[in-house]
Amino acid sequence: MTPTAAAAPRPTLTHTLGFPRMGAARELKFALERHWRGEIDAAALDAVGATLRARHWQAQQDAGLAFVTVGDFACYDHVAHHIQLLGCEPARFGFGADAPELARYFAMARGAQGGGHHVCDAGCTHGAAAAPTGHAALEMTKWFDTNYHYLVPELHADTQFHLGSQRLFDEVAEAQALGHAVKAQLIGPLTFLWLSKDKGATLFDRLALLGRLLPVYAEILARLKALGVQWVQIDEPILGLELPPAWTQAFEPAYWQLGKAGPQVLLATYFSPLQEHLRLACQLPVAGLHVDAVRAPEELTGVADWLPGYKVLSVGIVDGRNVWRTDPDAALQLLAPIAAKHPGPLWLAPSCSLLHVPVSLQGEEALDPQVRSWLAFATEKLDELTLLAGLLDGRVAPDDARLAAARAAVASRRASARVHRPDVARRLAEAPPGADRRAAPFAARQVVQRTRLGLPLLPTTTIGSFPQTPEIRAARAAHRRGALATQEYEAQMRAEIERVVRRQEALGLDVLVHGEAERNDMVEYFGEQLAGFAFTANGWVQSYGSRCVKPPILYGDVAREQPMTVAWTQYAQSLTNRPMKGMLTGPVTILQWSFVRDDQPRALTCEQIAWAIRDEVTDLEAAGIAIVQIDEPALREGLPLRRGQWQAYLDGATRAFRIAASGVGNATQIHTHMCYSEFGDILPAIAALDADVITIETSRSQMELLEDFGRFAYPNEIGPGVYDIHSPRVPGEGEMVALLRRAARVVPVRNLWVNPDCGLKTRGWGETEAALAAMVRAARVVRGEV
């Protein structure tokens, strides 16, 4: 049935793998939060959802896409919708037969008491702490290497599946009623199982559930077909990961079953090269394959070679993960040979769902017009697809104004002196060898730092931020709006710093901090002061649930034009004789939580940031600050999806950190902080940072994590968090004593610090003071024992 050649010209179709759901004005967020506060009922919330879906489908139709995508919408999370669709809500929630679907959904998402998930800053996410275990929310974790968090399905060896929700079919009908041609979207069965968690008492193989799961998928597909749906996009992004052979082998039989069950299947892969799975992906018994040509342009020829000629080839040509306008000439150069080679239908799409980019550039008038011209958000990306398809087919004339505009924008970005700064390039090129090494090894630094700092054994400190009261937030917001004069604002912040210092002294902490009252966000604060960053008014991206982040746009060479934190830190130090710790965000975290330029390697951009941070570190040292903390909470999340690429990433990341940290003398103590609990496989890289002190989150794992450090014989000093800051609960002195004793068994006592798990910005003052007082007492108790 393979046609011999594409004699007749076929139009190139366009589609999207998904669209942002929040709405350009974050309508969904606000409706959700009102619903949770009890201000609007489920029907009113649904109405907001329906309005947004209709608007987003219309945008897809207006752009000329061949179908609208249905099934990508979610009130909280699309994986959680699949849990309901597939009828596998965890039994532990004990839902009654009459519990409404939406209420069950939010119970899974937020815990039965609506405790919600907590994020301590832009990226560090934790499950609901307050709800009792029986009704605690599902765990959340990052969706592949994105900043989107999904709710993790919980499976047991005896989990049964059934068609458990009508929502998808209702939405299909909704789109059809609006006159749209529909492509439905589903997460594939293998990816669904892979992303789930075994929750059974005994270990079992999630893959063993596939046989039970497939009939439900078949039923869903049959229902979609009955609704007249022609295409279903089934996402199997795990084909871009290293997989155990049993998982790889499960694909073919599974898709034999699904390929026949309903509408034509477009298998969608993204985020990562297919590599060893390329042939498998091409040859699965489905009607089409989508590949990510942004992350893996080099594979496109191989895909065109292996994909049977009659199948649809969907090329993810527009970057779904980033905000840059597509270079039309580069895209066509990649596409033209593929179009010639592949005789079957060719579709163009974003590389992945547009969930990961903001909705629209409309409303970004405050953005510098030149920078704005370089950007394309979700809505603009849809237009890019139509333009590219038209150019490829010769339906759009070479002198089309849209093409000229795209070319002009690309050329202006390439040539802009704001993007390419010779001074920055020169600085990196002329970096002396060894610029990323401290002058003396740790053991020697430790001796001079001890003498200089004169700290007791088990020194106490905090991670940086103190409670951000409504007054502080109001002052910051008013200053931003221009409603509070700078002088008055600074006076208020200084008063706050003084209060925070006095409280720390009264608590008896050994190493103090200024409290970060002037910071809204640990990346934005630095981005706003560094050259090379731009900020949008509305460039929100969903992080999880109703929570959105507005990542800075890192468009050009990064440089620090003037000190960013020195005045605040110096003022704080002037108030006390105890050491004041300077507080900075590290290069990897700044990179990770921004939209990053795509015209040079990420590692190079990271190194530029590192030099800018280094300038700040050395200025702090010159201002008499003896301890500087460089936070890297995002270091681990930057790990590439494929292990084969880990080492290169870790080498670049550790080098960047060391560049930032190594401009100072031996007597200046560098701290770093990371808030996660999986270190085992990256301990060599953590050690390679060569920070004098690392503070980490450990209290919720009862210090288990520290045992990794002990086994590894981690050489430098460590502050394992002794209490969980994600809960308002005040820990007892006794628990912290026990944790410290346990820590002292695995790490030499002379290398141990005492601190909470993370910053305290989300806590209230009452619980903070009580907890820190108990922490200081606990440190004194254990000091007395050694």
The residues binding ligand GLN (CB under 6 A) are 120-121, 124, 463-465, 516, 522, 583, 631, 633, 673, 675, 758-759, 761
- Residue 147 in marked binding region: yes
The listed partner (Zn ion, ligand GLN, none) that binds 467, CB under 5 to 8 Å by sort, is: none
- Binding flag, residue 493, Zn ion (CB under 5 A): no
The listed partner (ligand GLN, Zn ion, none) that binds 464, CB under 5 to 8 Å by sort, is: ligand GLN
Q: Which residue is nearest to ligand GLN (CB)?
A: 759
Q: Where are the alpha helices (DSSP H) in 581-662?
A: 587-592, 602-622, 646-661
CA–CA distances in Å: residue 529 to residues 279, 457, 468, 586: 48, 38, 21, 14
Contact segment (CB under 5 A) with Zn ion among 251-259, 508-516, 574-582, 630-638 equals: 630-638
The listed partner (Zn ion, ligand GLN, none) that binds 344, CB under 5 to 8 Å by sort, is: none
* Ramachandran angles phi, psi of 720, nearest 5°: -75, 125
Beta carbons within 8 Å of 481's beta carbon, 6+ residues apart: none
Rounded Cα–Cα distance for residues 147 and 492 (Å): 34
On whether the CB atoms of residues 267 and 227 are closer than 8 A, the answer is no
- Residue 120 in marked binding region: no
Strands (E), 56-103: 68-70
The listed partner (Zn ion, ligand GLN, none) that binds 512, CB under 5 to 8 Å by sort, is: none
- Residue closer to Zn ion by CB (options 628, 675) is 675
Helix, strand, coil percentages in the chain from 3-state DSSP, rounded to 5: 45, 15, 40
CB of 596 to ligand GLN, least distance (A): 19
Between 746 and 785, how does the x/- string for binding to Zn ion read (CB under 5 A)?
------------x---------------------------
Q: What H or E segment, with its residue span, contains residue 59?
A: helix 42-62
For β-strands 125-126 and 118-119, DSSP reports them as antiparallel
Q: Locate 222 and state its tokens.
A: 């049959």
Instruction: Name residue, tokens 């970004």.
Output: 364
The listed partner (Zn ion, ligand GLN, none) that binds 631, CB under 5 to 8 Å by sort, is: ligand GLN
On whether the CB atoms of residues 105 and 80 are closer than 8 A, the answer is yes
Looking at the DSSP assignment, which residues form a beta bridge with residue 318?
350
The listed partner (Zn ion, ligand GLN, none) that binds 20, CB under 5 to 8 Å by sort, is: none
**Vertex 418, ends 413 and 420: CA angle to 5°?**
75
- Residue closer to Zn ion by CB (options 250, 694) is 694
- Residue 322 in marked binding region: no
Rounded Cα–Cα distance for residues 105 and 553 (Å): 34
- Residue 360 in marked binding region: no
- Binding flag, residue 694, Zn ion (CB under 5 A): no
For β-strands 13-14 and 231-235, DSSP reports them as unpaired
The listed partner (Zn ion, ligand GLN, none) that binds 583, CB under 5 to 8 Å by sort, is: ligand GLN
Nearest of 91, 122, 121 to residue 108 by alpha carbon = 91
- Residue closer to Zn ion by CB (options 238, 758) is 758
The listed partner (ligand GLN, Zn ion, none) that binds 127, CB under 5 to 8 Å by sort, is: none
- Residue 426 in marked binding region: no
- Residue closer to ligand GLN by CB (options 186, 548) is 548
Rounded Cα–Cα distance for residues 31 and 629 (Å): 39
CB of 519 to ligand GLN, least distance (A): 8
A 10 A CB-CB count for 38 gives 7
CA–CA distances in Å: residue 301 to residues 332, 354, 528: 14, 25, 42
Q: Locate 494 and state its tokens.
A: 């200084």
Rounded Cα–Cα distance for residues 182 and 226 (Å): 13
CB of 513 to ligand GLN, least distance (A): 8
Rounded Cα–Cα distance for residues 536 and 644 (Å): 35
* Ramachandran angles phi, psi of 719, nearest 5°: -115, 95
Please confirm, yes or no, whether 180 is among the known catalytic residues: no
- Residue 479 in marked binding region: no
On whether the CB atoms of residues 527 and 594 are closer than 8 A, the answer is yes
Binding footprint of Zn ion, residue count (CB under 5 A): 3
Rounded Cα–Cα distance for residues 688 and 682 (Å): 10
CB of 600 to ligand GLN, least distance (A): 27
The listed partner (ligand GLN, Zn ion, none) that binds 522, CB under 5 to 8 Å by sort, is: ligand GLN
- Residue closer to Zn ion by CB (options 118, 156) is 118
CB of 581 to Zn ion, least distance (A): 14
Beta carbons within 8 Å of 409's beta carbon, 6+ residues apart: 325, 373, 374
CA–CA distances in Å: residue 654 to residues 524, 589, 669, 689, 706: 22, 12, 17, 5, 21
- Residue closer to ligand GLN by CB (options 66, 522) is 522
- Residue closer to Zn ion by CB (options 275, 762) is 762
CB of 633 to ligand GLN, least distance (A): 4
Is 103 exposed, middle or buried, given 0-12, 13-18 or 19+ CB atoms closer than 10 A? Answer: exposed
- Residue 26 in marked binding region: yes
CB of 782 to ligand GLN, least distance (A): 24
- Residue 593 in marked binding region: yes
Among 229, 234, 367, 675, contact with Zn ion (rule: CB under 5 A): 675
- Residue closer to ligand GLN by CB (options 242, 528) is 528
- Residue 149 in marked binding region: no
CB of 591 to ligand GLN, least distance (A): 15
SS3 76: coil
CB of 124 to ligand GLN, least distance (A): 4
- Residue 187 in marked binding region: no
CB of 695 to ligand GLN, least distance (A): 9
- Residue closer to Zn ion by CB (options 195, 675) is 675
- Residue 163 in marked binding region: no
Of the residues 81, 135, 514, 726, which is catalytic? 726
- Residue 547 in marked binding region: yes
Is 164 exposed, middle or buried, given 0-12, 13-18 or 19+ CB atoms closer than 10 A? Answer: middle
Q: Which residues are catalytic?
A: 726
Annotated binding site for L-methionine: 463-465, 516, 631
Annotated binding site for L-homocysteine: 463-465, 516, 631
Annotated binding site for Zn(2+): 673, 675, 697, 758
Annotated binding site: 26-29, 142, 147, 463-465, 516, 547-548, 593, 631, 637, 673, 675, 697, 758
Residues lying near Zn ion in the complex (CB under 5 A) are found at 633, 675, 758
